[in-house]
Structure 1
């Protein structure tokens, strides 16, 4: 669907130069001389490259709508992650690179959203947070809790994060999957 560049917002997916791009940032500029334009920061959905592009405000671009489907993570095989479609139970093996660093937070049975375009998977979106157990951390020193300090902790999936001093070994914590940071103590 063709849309004017004034209508696209961050998160929109467009077809440009025979590739699919998502708009990361867009700034409308009206210089003192010359026509107004949109200074856009685009990210390629297939290989992750970035592109800074200037679009004239009179231009149109092809907006693309991606399909989002729920898939369940089954297991890892070599450098591929195997998922099962929740509707038709079809299995698909995706490269680990499609998820990137967030793959370390995948847990067996976890439901993720897979974005596809014309049946081809483009990206995998994990839940915003996961609950993991702290398997190793330093003991709290007396008086250390008065300052807003953090200490390193090793989680059950092998990831190292910084946690508040009151968190001990064996405690379950909520972790942000996008940033890999401590959110709060798990309420269970």
Structure 2
């Protein structure tokens, strides 16, 4: 662990605070007319997901936690568990579907993910930012629809629903943002 100043906290920084592990989600430097500047930080608890807003003055120090990042390959789903393999040691890691959340639907055979570990315990997982999927159903375009409302619902091969432009048809492959769960563009 390393000590950093409260003004050095940036989105993605993981700190130990109030006896818990917190990741900075958003930060905003505030310079009030009176008094010293401070860093307004939105924190998310890495263990239970609760959120917290804190002010850190630049004179304050916090413990920055270094997480171990390891690459794993997704193998298969078994009940409520997702099984991954460490690409170096070939050891298997089982994570609950709830741990991965809604984005578990984007996991594909052999997909590489990065697991964040703290003292050998998984506390976070990062999927690729975008994946290519096939559209299985797309609503027909309604004639006379204005351009502003022209996105239409579509269902992807993994069962996820997204809004797509009117020219996307069933059977086409598209790039989907796994963070926003949204259409990006047609796949090449």
TM-score by length of 2: 0.91
Q: After superposition, where does 1:123-138 map in structure 2 within 5 Å? A: 123-138=124-139
Runs of 4+ in 1 over 6 A off after TM superposition: none
Query: Counterpart of 1:43?
Result: 44
**Distance (Å, rounded) in 1 between the aligned partners of 2:140 and 2:56:** 56
Gaps of 5+ in 1: none
CA contact under 8 A between 2:7 and 2:56: conserved in structure 1? Answer: no
1:157 to partner: Cα distance = 0.6
**Distance (Å, rounded) in 1 between the aligned partners of 2:31 and 2:167:** 52
Q: 1:186 to 1:36 in 2, by over 3 A?
A: closer
Task: Name which of structure 1's ranges 36-45 and 155-164 shifts more when overlaid on structure 2.
Answer: 36-45
Task: Name which of structure 1's ranges 154-163 and 3-12 shifts more when overlaid on structure 2.
Answer: 3-12
TM-score by length of 1: 0.91
Query: Counterpart of 2:102?
Result: 101
**Distance (Å, rounded) in 2 between the aligned partners of 1:132 and 1:172:** 5
Query: Counterpart of 1:139?
Result: 140
Could you report, residue by residue, the CA deviation over 1:25-49 in whole angstroms, capped at 9, with x for unpaired residues?
Answer: 2233344444443322111111111
For the aligned residue pairs, the C-alpha RMSD in angstroms reads: 1.8
**Distance (Å, rounded) in 1 between the aligned partners of 2:172 and 2:34:** 61
Gaps of 5+ in 2: none
Query: Counterpart of 2:4?
Result: 3
**Distance (Å, rounded) in 2 between the aligned partners of 1:25 and 1:136:** 36
Could you report, residue by residue, the CA deviation over 1:39-97 in whole angstroms, capped at 9, with x for unpaired residues?
Answer: 22111111111011222332110011111111011111221111100111000101112
Query: Counterpart of 1:86?
Result: 87
Query: Counterpart of 2:168?
Result: 167
Q: 1:36 to 1:140 in 2, by over 3 A?
A: closer
1:113 to partner: Cα distance = 0.7
**Distance (Å, rounded) in 2 between the aligned partners of 1:32 and 1:172:** 53
**Distance (Å, rounded) in 2 between the aligned partners of 1:89 and 1:176:** 29
1:164 to partner: Cα distance = 1.1
- Number of aligned residue pairs: 186
1:141 to partner: Cα distance = 5.5
